[in-house]
Amino acid sequence: MIERKISNKKIEESLKTMTNNKRLIYLDTAAGIFIIYMIFYHCSQFADMTNNHVFKFLQVVFSCFMAWFFFKSGMFYKRDITVKEEFIHTLRKLWRPYILFWCIGIVVEAIKYSSIGDTNWMHYVLTPFKSSLLYGGVNNGASPMWFLVTLFAVRTLSPVMLKICNGYGWAVCGVVGAILCYINGMYGWGFIHPYYISNFFPAMFFYGLGFLMKEKQFDKEIFFIALVIYAISFAWPSMVDFQANSLTRGNAFLWYVYAPAAIVVFNYICKKVNYAVRPVTNIGRNSMWWFLAHWPVLCLSDIFYVNVCKISGGTACNRIYNSHVDIGIVTPSCKPLST
């Protein structure tokens, strides 16, 4: 009888674990869409192809792409968790990919300096540490790591920020973030250093919004309002560089209205579809890998095709896309990083 009770308990725990570990297909699909756009965005930057109409149109379509990842993370916030518990949990989840890609970034930077004949040892040894201090814990060879640093700060402080001001501390962060974005606009892109001082506030805003809107975002009335606002954003577009919390187009305060609306629209549509769209959903399932790995690949591709093969522009962009296809073939066989 005792053995039977123990067996039933184990089955219940197993079912509970399976439920907790079950991935939400619509979130993986949305993540895949934004990752693909992010890679396109960075490829276009490397190939100096950012002035065409297609690129500018897609900037408006995906103006929320970086904010979405913080929104998504906020959807899984637990009310009863403490700062200490969240600190330990998040540290265990993020320190391995951070250390790995920080080291990869140093190697990529060294290859870049070597390819242009730079023999200044300080660039190889000191510059990566200087970049990490000034630009939010990253070096130029692995720039997207800023997301891990900001996410760590946001999740660690979320038990406090989501309770202060009668539970609207995240909204206060949105106001502060918009003001800092305005200051960055006045004094130049990325004026406030390190970047995580400035981008923490919009990140916390979207994290808190994700927690608040976890279920509400799927109400038809909310979706209709969000769809109208999203449509208006095409007439008067506004965009913010999330890493530096700096305005790149339009109005910072408008972006804080447009981006949540766009997030709701994407999540609502993906939830309605709610089936795996290959390879998009697979990319979203391994989003952390793609998020961190694509940048070193871009840097190495740029070094090879521009400095070695002496090609650039559209041709370089096509080569870089092919490099990412190769990475995509390898990805399914790799153990995914924490997402």
Check the CA dihedral 331-46-33-204 and report its sign: positive
Closest CA to 199 of 68, 290, 67, 289: 67
Under the banding of pLDDT at 50, 70 and 90, the label for residue 327 is very low
Instruction: Round to whole Å and give the CA distance between 52 and 58.
Output: 10
Decide: 42 and 293 in contact? Cβ < 8 Å. no
pLDDT band with cut points at 50, 70 and 90 for residue 77? very high
What string of DSSP letters covers 72-136?
Answer: HHHTT--TT--HHHHHHHHHHHHHHHHHHHHHHHHHHHHHHHHHTT---HHHHHTHHHHHHHHTT
Rounded to whole angstroms, what are the CA distances from 239 to 85, 112, 186, 236, 257? 35, 31, 16, 10, 11
Q: Are 291 and 35 in contact (CB under 8 A)?
A: yes
Q: Which of residues 2 and 68 earns the better pLDDT score?
A: 68
Query: Which pLDDT score is estimated for 62?
Result: 97
> In sequence order, what are the residues at sequence separation of 6 or more whose Cβ sits closer than 8 angstroms to the Cβ of residue 19?
none
3-state SS assignment for residue 315: helix
Q: Is the pLDDT of residue 17 over 80?
A: no
Q: What distance lies between CA 169 and its chain's CA centroid?
A: 22
Instruction: Please report which residue ranges of 188-241 form alpha helices under DSSP H.
Output: 195-212, 220-235
Characterize 101-120 residue by residue with b for buried, 16 or more Cβ atoms within 10 angstroms of its Cβ, and e for exposed. Answer: bbebbbebbbbbeeeeeeee
Query: Per mean pLDDT, which range of 43-47, 72-76, 289-293, 333-337 is the poorest?
Result: 333-337
Peptide bond into 128 cis (omega under 30): no
pLDDT in tens, 244-284: 999 999 999 999 999 999 999 999 999 999 889 889 999 99
Taking each helix axis as running N to C, give the angle between helix 195-212 and helix 65-74, from 0 to 180 degrees, rounded to the nearest 10.
Answer: 60
Amino acid type, 77: Y
- Percent of the chain, pLDDT > 90? 58
Each residue of 153-203: pLDDT tens digit? Answer: 999 999 999 999 888 999 999 999 999 998 988 888 888 888 889 999 999
Average of per-residue pLDDT values in the chain: 85
What is the CB neighbour count within 10 angstroms for residue 54?
10
Q: Which tokens go with 85?
A: 């518990």
In the prediction, which pLDDT does 131 show? 81
For residue 212, pLDDT over 60 is answered with: yes
What's the length of the chain?
A: 339
Does pTM top 0.95 for this prediction? no
Omega before residue 332 within 30° of 0, cis: no
CA atoms of 328 and 325, how far apart (whole Å): 5
Which residue from 336, 208, 209, 215 is spatially nearest to 284, judged by alpha carbons? 336
Q: Which of 34, 38, 32, 42 is nearest to 316 (CA)?
A: 42
- pLDDT, position 153: 96
